[in-house]
Structure 1
Amino acid sequence: MVKLRFPNQTEIEIPNGTTIAQLAAEQENPRALAGGILNGKVHDLNYRLNKSGAFEWITRGSLIGQMMTERTLSFLFITAVRLCFDGLDVLIEHSLAGGLYGTLIRKEPVTLAELEQVEAKMRDMIAKKEPIHRRVVSKAEAVAHFEALGMPDKASLLRQRTSAKCSIYTCAGVDDYFYGVMLPDASWIGQFTLRKVHQGFWLSTEKEFIDQPKLFEVYRQFERRGQETGISMVSQLNEKIREGCLPQLIKDNENRVARDLDTLADQIAARPELKIVLIAGPSSAGKTTFSRRLAFALHERGRNPIAISMDDFFLNREDSPRLPDGTHDYENIECLDLKLFNTSMEALISGQPVVLPTYDFKLGEKRFIRDPLTLKPDQILILEGLHALNPRSSEKIAEAAKFRVYINALTHLNLDRHNRITTTDYRLIRRMTRDYQFRGRSVQSTLDGWEQVKAGEDRYIYPYQEQADFLFNTSMDYELPILKTILAPLLDQVPVAAPEYIEANRIRRLLAYFDGGDPALVPHDSILAEFIGGSVFEE
C-alpha cells in the first residue's frame, strides 16, 4: 500500500500502482485536475503512484496546469501539421496576445486554407480522444532517436540534460520531447483558436486575438537578429561559449543596446516640445539602469534630464486601497495621488516652481522637504513608474509634451523549435538573482511573492504597452549563462518540502540546459549588472 499525505495533513492509503487518474476519478470534479505532485515532483495523470509521501493536486487553473495545457495544445498542433503536410515541422517563436505565435519551417508563409486543414485535424483528434503516450528512455537513446527523425535542435538540447533519462511523448504516431509533462489525451483541450497572423499562425485557448503590432515588430527584429547571428536556440548559444566566443558575444549584445539607446535618445532630442519621458515596464525589465543610461544619452544631446519617481506620489498609507486579505495593494493605480501628480507635472511643464514630495516608506506618508524645482527650457523630466503608461496617470498633461517608453526583456532565444523560453522566466531569473544579491531576500521569498507581482503586471502594465511611442528590449543572448553561475547554487538549496520547491526546481532544470558564464565579463554599465552586481549606477 501507498500512503499519501495531503497539504491539509489528511492521509489516505491506496494500492501500490494506482494511477493519479484513478485517484482523481474519486474526486468531485476529476476534469479540473491535471496531475499531481508527489514529494516535490510533478507527474501527469497516467503516472502510477508507487511511493508514499506528500501529495497535492495540480488543478487546470494553476500555473503548472496552464503550462500543461499550452504544452499539450502545441503538441496537437505540431502533430496535425506533420500529419497533414508529410512531416513538415513547426517553429514556436514567442508569446503574443495571450497565445503562441509561430511559423512553418519553409520559405512560403502558411495559408489560411492550410490552417483550416490543420484545425480540422486537431478537432478530429480531440473528438477521438487521441491518447498522448509517454515513454522513458536513456538520454543516449533519445538523442539518437531525434537525430534519426531529422530534429538536430532537439538532439542537441537533450545532450545538455543532466538526467540520464528522457521522456518521449507520442501522439498519433508523432514523437516529440517537451520541457514538462502533458495532459493525457487530446480531448482535454476544449476551446482553442487557430488563425493566420502576419506570416505565421496564432494558437491560443483564448477566443479573441487582439493585435499588438508594436510588440510583434520588436519580436520580429530580434528573431531576424537571431537568424543573422546564428543564435536562436540554446544549443547554438552553448556552442558559441565552448568556442570561446562569450566575450565577443557580450560585446556585440552591449553594442546593440547602446545603438538602441542612441536611436531612442535621438528621437526624443529631435522634439524640443517634449517635456516628460514616461517609462514603464514589468519587474526586472532593467528600468533603473535603462533610465540612467537614457538620461546620460539625453544630456549628451543637450537635453538636461531630471529624474522623478512616481513612487514619491503614493497616497499616505492609511488612505491606500487594500487587498481582500487586508494588506495594502501598492500595485493599484489608486495608491497614487493622481491629482497631485498631474497638477505638479502641469506646473513644472509650464515653468512654475514646484515642491515635489518625497515618500517616506517607513512612515508611510509623503513629505515635502525638497527645494522648489523649476524646469528650465533645456531640461526634460524622466519619470519611471509602474503606472507611467496608464492614461489616467498623465491625463492632464498635454500629449505634445509626453513621450512614452515601454521596456521589457523580450527574449527570442528558445530551447528548441517547440519549447520556448518565456519572457516571464527571464525576468524571474533576473529578479531572484538581484533580490538575493542586494535586497537580502532568499530565492524562496522571491518566488513566494512572484504570482502577486505578475498579477499586478497583467492588470496595470501589459494593457498599455501598445500605447508606447518606443518599445525597448533589454534581453541579451548571453545573460542566462551568466545568471546561471550565480543562481543555480541558490536554487539547489531550496528544500523539497518548501512550497516554492516546484518552481525553483523548474527554473533549476531550465538553467541546466545552459553552459555557465563568468559574471566578471559583464561591463559595469550593462543592464545585466543591475542584477548581478558591479553596476556603476549602484547607490
Structure 2
Amino acid sequence: MKDEDKIIIHECPRKNVEIFLPDGRVIQGPRGSTVETLLKNAGLDFVAPLMGAIVNSDLRELTYPIEIDARVRPVTMAEADGARIYRRSLTFLLEAAFEELYHDCALAVDHSVSSGGFYCEVVGNKPLSQEDLDHLNAYMQTLVTADLPFERLQVPLQEAVDYFKQKGEEEKVNLLKYRTKAHLMLYRLGEHRDYHHGYMVPSTGYLKWFDLTRLGDGFVLRFPRRHAPTQIQPLPNTNRLLETFQTYGSWLNRLGIASIGTLNDAIQADRIREVVLVSEALQEQKIAEIAREIAEAQPHKKIVLIAGPSSSGKTTFAKRLAIQLLARGISPFALELDNYFVDREKTPKDEEGKFDFESLGALNTTALSDHLQRLIRGEEVQLLRFNFHSGLSETGDVVRIGKDQVIILEGIHGLNPNMLPIIPTDSTFRIYCSCMTQLNLDRQNRISTTDSRLIRRIVRDARERGYSARQTIFQWESVRRGEKRNIFPYQEYADEMFNSALVFELAALKSLAEPLLRQVPFGSPENIEAKRLLALLEWFLPLDVDLIPDNSILREFIGGSILKGFRLWESNINSQ
C-alpha cells in the first residue's frame, strides 16, 4: 500500500471545525463555537441584520453550537425566516417589559398591520395612555441598550404547566393540556418566561428597530418590513381593517372560543358541530349584509369589484354573494378579467425578464373601462376573449345587461383606482376579501393568516392541480411579492371587507395538510417551511371534514363544494 493510500485515524478529534458558506468561502473556528461567533468573527458583510442560519439544511438560532464541519447559509431580516425571528423576539421583549411595568393587567398581541406591526391591547384594565406608551417604549429601549441575553430552556411539560398556572395564565395551561411531547422549550428574559412558536435572537441588543403607536383602544408594535429591514414604515389608515378585526373578536366571544385550547376543548367534548354551524352562519350573515348594501345602492352602483390575496376564498365568496343578490331580485353578471389580458408580447416583464401577468399593465384597462361604461348605459357590447393557447386577445360574446343587473368582477386589481380610471368611483362597490385574522395559540402567540392561506393553498393545489407541497411552497414567495405590490396597498379603498377566516379551519385542514407536508424532501429549502407548518399544526386536534357544510368557503380548498358548478345567469349573452 502506498503511503498516500493509508487511512489515518486521529486519536482525538480536531480542535477546530470548518463551515462552508454558499459563496465558497470557508471559515474555521474552535469546535463548539456558536453560529453567531463564527460568522461575526469572520468579518462578513450582510445585506441586512443577521438573524439566524441554515446549518446542514436545518434552520438554526445564532446560539446553535457547531460541533462538526457544516454547510452554513446566513439568514437575515430581509428573508421570511429572519423577519419571523426578529418579530417573535420583539414580541417577547414587549411582553417582558409590559409585565415588569404593568403587573395587574395582561397584554394581548393580536392581528398584523400591513405596514409592519402587530395590533396589541391591554386586557383587564383601561387602555394605555400616551404617557404610559412612551414609558413602555423607553423601557424597551433601555433593555435593548443593555443587550440582555434571551436564555433558551428545555423544561419538563409539567414544570411549564405549573409555572403558567402559578401566573394565572389559564389559556396557556389549557393549550398545553393537549401537547403530546413531554417537554417544552421556554425562553427567559430576566424573570419573564414564555414559550414561542419558533426561534429567537440571542439577546435584546438585536432589537434596535421598533416603535409603539396608539391606535383605537390599543396600540401597534411597529417593526421593519423585509424590503427595508432597518426602517419603520409610516402607519397607514387602518380604520376599516380594525373594524373587521373587532367584528371577528366579537364572533369568537359568541362562540366561546378564545384560543386554540378552547377550540381543542370543543373538539374533544364533541361540541364542535355547533361551533362549525355558528361560524358558518356568522359568515353568511355578513355576506347577506353586503348584498343588502349593494341592493340599497341601486341603481347607482352597477359594478361590484372583489379583490383579495391568494387562497382567500374569493371564488366561493363571489358565488355566495351572487346567491344573496338573486334572493333580493338582483341578477349578477360575471365579467371575467382574465379575458382582458393584452396580447402576450405586450405583457410587461418583471426584474428577471419574465412576463408579469400580475402587473396592471397586463390588462387592457382601456377596453375594460369602455365596455363597462357602455354596459351600465344599457348598450350592447362585444366583449373580449383571451386565447391562452395563442396568447392573443380575440372578440368574445355580445352582451347587454338589464336594469336589475349588476356586474361582478373578481381579480387582484379590483381595488386599484388605476384599473378603471374613467369609471366614476360612486358607480362601483368595492369589496376586499381575505383571511384577515385567525384564532391564536394564546394572547401572546399569534398565528399568521399568511400561514393559514398557505396551508389552504397546499391542500387545494394537491387536490386540483396535482402539485406537491414542495411546489406550492416554492411558488409562495413569488405569490406574496405580487400581493404586497398589487393588493395590500389598496385594501383601505374597499367599501366593505369580508373576513373569510373560519375559527375551526386549521383543525379541519390538519389531517389533509400533514401528509403532504411530510413528503417535502429533507435537504430542500422548502423542507424548512414544511417543518415549521407541521409544528404549527401539532397544536390542533383534528376535525372531521365531514362536519364542514357543502357551501363553506373551506370547501373551495378541501373539495366537495356544492357551488363548484354554480354559474351566474347567462341569458343575456348572444353568442356570435
Q: Same fold (TM over 0.5)?
A: yes
**Aligned 8 A contact 2:27 2:38 in 1:** no
Cα distance between partner residues in 1 of 2:175 and 2:288:
36
Q: 2:4 maps to what in 1?
A: none
Q: 1:100 maps to what in 2?
A: 118
Q: How does 1:72-91 map to 2 (within 5 A)?
A: 72-86=89-103, 88-91=105-108
**Aligned 8 A contact 2:186 2:194 in 1:** yes
Report deviation, 1:533: 0.3
Counterpart code for 1:197: L
Q: 2:570 maps to what in 1?
A: none
Q: 1:449 maps to what in 2?
A: 475
Aligned: 1:167 with 2:185: yes
Q: 1:28 maps to what in 2?
A: 44
**Aligned 8 A contact 1:408 1:474 in 2:** yes
Aligned: 1:19 with 2:37: no
Structure 2 counterpart of 1:383, from 404, 409, 412: 409
Which sections of structure 2, spanning at least 5 residues, go unmatched?
A: 1-13, 224-231, 566-576
Using structure 1 for the length normalisation, give the TM-score. Answer: 0.96
Cα distance between partner residues in 2 of 1:174 and 1:331:
46
Counterpart code for 2:38: L
Query: Taking structure 1 as reference, are residues 406 and 41 closer, same or farther at Cα in structure 2, changes over 3 Å only?
Result: same
**Aligned 8 A contact 1:193 1:207 in 2:** no
Aligned: 1:334 with 2:387: no
Report deviation, 1:12: 5.7
Report deviation, 1:155: 3.0
Report deviation, 1:29: 2.8
Cα distance between partner residues in 1 of 2:296 and 2:507:
38
Report deviation, 1:258: 1.2
Counterpart code for 2:360: I
**Aligned 8 A contact 1:81 1:87 in 2:** no
Cα distance between partner residues in 2 of 1:58 and 1:197:
32
Q: 2:442 maps to what in 1?
A: 416
What's the secondary structure of 2:382's corresponding residue? coil
Report the RMSD for the aligned CA atoms in angstroms.
1.8
Q: 2:571 maps to what in 1?
A: none
Aligned: 1:272 with 2:289: no
Counterpart code for 1:209: L
Aligned: 1:132 with 2:159: no
Report deviation, 1:79: 1.0
**Aligned 8 A contact 1:88 1:104 in 2:** yes
Cα distance between partner residues in 1 of 2:529 and 2:106:
30
Q: 1:351 maps to what in 2?
A: 378
Cα distance between partner residues in 2 of 1:519 and 1:211:
38
Structure with the greater alpha carbon radius of gyration: 2
Q: 1:71 maps to what in 2?
A: 88
Report deviation, 1:287: 0.7
Q: 1:178 maps to what in 2?
A: 196
Cα distance between partner residues in 1 of 2:342 and 2:201:
46
Aligned: 1:220 with 2:246: yes
Q: Which moved more, 1:478-487 or 1:146-155?
A: 146-155
Structure 1 counterpart of 2:399, from 373, 394, 411: 373
Cα distance between partner residues in 2 of 1:151 and 1:326:
53
Q: 1:258 maps to what in 2?
A: 284
**Aligned 8 A contact 1:481 1:515 in 2:** yes
Q: How does 1:1-16 map to 2 (within 5 A)?
A: 1=14, 2=17, 4-7=19-22, 14-16=29-31
Cα distance between partner residues in 2 of 1:291 and 1:391:
20
Measured against aligned partners, the alpha-carbon deviations of 1:200-255 in whole angstroms (never above 9, x if no partner) come to 11111225322310010000111122223221211110001101012211111111
Report deviation, 1:4: 4.2
Report deviation, 1:383: 0.7
Cα distance between partner residues in 2 of 1:65 and 1:408:
25
Cα distance between partner residues in 1 of 2:28 and 2:388:
51
Residue identity over aligned pairs, in percent, reads 35
Structure 2 counterpart of 1:236, from 262, 270, 277: 262
Cα distance between partner residues in 1 of 2:290 and 2:548:
23
Measured against aligned partners, the alpha-carbon deviations of 1:262-288 in whole angstroms (never above 9, x if no partner) come to 111111112222211011011011011
What's the secondary structure of 2:112's corresponding residue? strand
Aligned: 1:42 with 2:68: no
Cα distance between partner residues in 1 of 2:425 and 2:50:
49
Q: 2:573 maps to what in 1?
A: none
Q: How many residues align?
A: 538
Counterpart code for 1:327: K
Query: Taking structure 1 as reference, are residues 211 and 400 closer, same or farther at Cα in structure 2, changes over 3 Å only?
Result: closer
Aligned: 1:524 with 2:550: yes
Aligned: 1:313 with 2:328: no
What's the secondary structure of 1:170's corresponding residue? strand
Measured against aligned partners, the alpha-carbon deviations of 1:290-345 in whole angstroms (never above 9, x if no partner) come to 11111111111111111112111111111101112121111111111111111111
**Aligned 8 A contact 1:226 1:232 in 2:** yes
